[in-house]
Structure 1
Amino acid sequence: MPPKKRTRNPFRGVMDMMSEMNRISDTMANLETGNATQRGFSDAWSPTTDIFARGNNLVIRSELPGASLENVEVTFSHGYLTIAGERNKDDEGVIYYAEERFRGAFRREITLPEGIEDTDIEAKFDDGLLEITVKNGADAEGPAQINVQSKKRRA
């Protein structure tokens, strides 16, 4: 049987500094744990999320590209809204030259205002965007402004 031909990465050296630092960090973490592929909830990635008011409603949008509805779970318990799930590779046979998107388990916990019930929460998932609406969850006055002070004097 002839030796397996190695595929050359045409993007080697082109990736930005942050990608290289992330790769090194992941490699070091894998050396410490001895586990290169599985993530637990303690080290799961957290999806990018926007939280804003639309009228009296609180809206939470999380970007979950590549995740399927079957692998997304939204729960509410003791005032905490939890978005959890998993994004897996579904492209068997593909050779990656650069891979920066997180795969595996994800988890995001958001504290909701007091008095919210599970019946006040509605969730929709379309095209990789999870939108959760919390009825009457927004503060009509908005967030309180906190005065920030410094010990240093200005010149």
Structure 2
Amino acid sequence: MALPVRSVERPATMVRWDPFQEIEDAWTRMGSLLGDVVGRVEGRPVGPLAAAVAPIDIEETDDAFIVEIELPGVRREEVSIDLRGNELQVTGEIKERERTGVLRRQTRRMGRFEHHIVLPGEVDPDSVNAMLDDGVLAIRLAKTRETQPKHIEVTSGGESK
């Protein structure tokens, strides 16, 4: 099956139509026009990726929950982590770097962020540690003793008479 083609600039030249590029171009034009009218909000771009959420993984092991959040360009001093019961709150700010040239396109997230994560079990607040490495914040929250699985060994009851 052949894909549709679209004439670009010169009618004699035929170019393969890329619908994804078409959508990206439209978003860029709309974001630029809207940005000219309403301006930027705290360094956040107006565009398709402005409201993108940072990828988060939550892993459950036998003794802990491990939460990993992608935070590229964020320093550890710019992140705050609070735990209330089994709800984890991670807040901070992605600061825009100083530029010398004209910014032609911006799709990276900037400004304040806040993540509320409800964990599926109780955690020990005294056994929580966090590490920021290569743009990934890893938080290890140990489970309370009551929520940790315990293996019960089955034994034989002996011979019956």
Provide TM-score, normalisation by structure 1.
0.61
Match of 2:30?
Answer: 24
* Aligned counterpart, 1:67: 74
How far apart, CA to CA, are the structure 1 residues paired with 2:148 and 2:29? Answer: 42
Structure 1: tracts of 5 or more residues without a match:
1-14, 141-155
Q: Which of 79, 82, 86 is matched with 1:79 structurally?
A: 86
The answer to whether structure 1 residue 91 and structure 2 residue 95 are counterparts is no
Q: Which ranges of structure 2 fall in alignment gaps of 5 or more residues?
A: 1-19, 44-49, 150-161
In 2, Cα distance between equivalents of 1:54 and 1:30: 49
Taking the TM superposition and a 5 Å limit, the aligned residue runs for 1:126-141 are 126-136=133-143
Q: Distance in 1 between matches of 2:33 and 2:79?
A: 28
Between stretches 110-119 and 59-68, larger displacement belongs to 110-119
Mapped partners of 1:139, 1:35: distance in 2: 51
- Which structure has the greater CA radius of gyration? 2
CA distance in 2, matches of 1:75, 1:19: 40
Do residues 36 (structure 1) and 43 (structure 2) align?
no
Instruction: Report the AA paired with residue 40 of structure 2.
Output: A
Could you tell me the TM-score, scaled by structure 2's length?
0.59
Using CA pairs under 8 Å that are at least 6 residues apart, name the structure with larger relative contact order, 1 or 2: 1
User: Aligned residue for 1:102?
Assistant: 109
Partner of 2:53: 46
Aligned equivalents of 2:75, 2:25: Cα separation in 1 = 26
Whether the aligned pair in 2 keeps the contact of 1:75 and 1:81 (CA below 8 Å) is yes
RMSD: 3.5
Residue identity in the other structure for 1:37: V
